[in-house]
Amino acid sequence: MSPDGVARKSIDGETGLATEGEPVYGEPTADGWRLWDRSRSKLAVLLDREVETGLDDGSTVLYLGAASGTTVSHVADFAGPTYAVEFAPRPMRDLLDVAADRENLFPLLKDAREPESYAHVVEPVDVIVQDVAIRGQADVALANRQFLREDGRLVLSVKARSEDVTRDPEAVFEEVEERLAEGYEIEYAESLEPFHDDHLGVVATPE
């Protein structure tokens, strides 16, 4: 189910989920609401499907792979403290601009593979949202499990081509799920097509 701070709106002839906040990436807006583009956000696909992600108004969130802030800006529009980890300096500059309009959004120029580098900053969280396009995506989720509350959820977007561009995506997804099972119980795992090719959306709880 979608949080109360995420509503279905029709703006400029387009209908979809929307949040209230300052625009970030040229998305259609009206009366303070901004459409959440599913083709640019894996999380938006899951919320549009009404998958139980654990995200709610006021949730504490750790977002891994925040990039320029497209998706995490929507999250920060309705969530509570939102810690946004991004490794690359160039998108971090854009993310800082996004955070300037959102006092609950905390950008961290860190590597999600090294959670010890930000463990002194991040409090226990209700939800980890992970969109890190690197090899070893399950390992990143396991390494950051330490921040997740016992009743929290991991919302993971697995990009098959980042794991191994030569292998069949289904085989990659199966391998990632097996690795995740070493620390999580998977509640949902479905393709994110047609919006995101060769991506698997996963929701899991800590074991």
pLDDT in tens, 107-149: 999 999 999 999 999 999 999 999 999 999 999 999 999 999 9
**For residues 168-196, average pLDDT:** 97
Q: Is 177 annotated as a binding residue?
A: no
27 is in an annotated binding site: no
Percent of the chain with pLDDT over 90: 98
Tell me if the pTM is above 0.95.
yes
For residue 71, say whether it is annotated as part of any ligand binding site: yes
Closest to 38 in 3D by CA, of 63, 6, 85, 60: 6
Q: Are 24 and 9 in contact (CB under 8 A)?
A: no
Q: Is 111 annotated as a binding residue?
A: yes
Share the mean pLDDT of the chain: 97
Q: Is 37 annotated as a binding residue?
A: no
Residue from 143, 151, 161 nearest 197 by CA: 161
**Residue whose pair of structure tokens reads 């998958």 in the numeric block:** 51
User: What is the average pLDDT across 5-22?
Assistant: 96
| Residue 182 in marked binding region | no
Domains within the chain, CATH numbers bracketed: 37-206 (3.40.50.150)
- Average pLDDT rounded to a whole number, residues 159-174: 95
Per-residue confidence (pLDDT) for residue 1, from 0 to 100: 61
Residue 4 confidence (pLDDT):
87
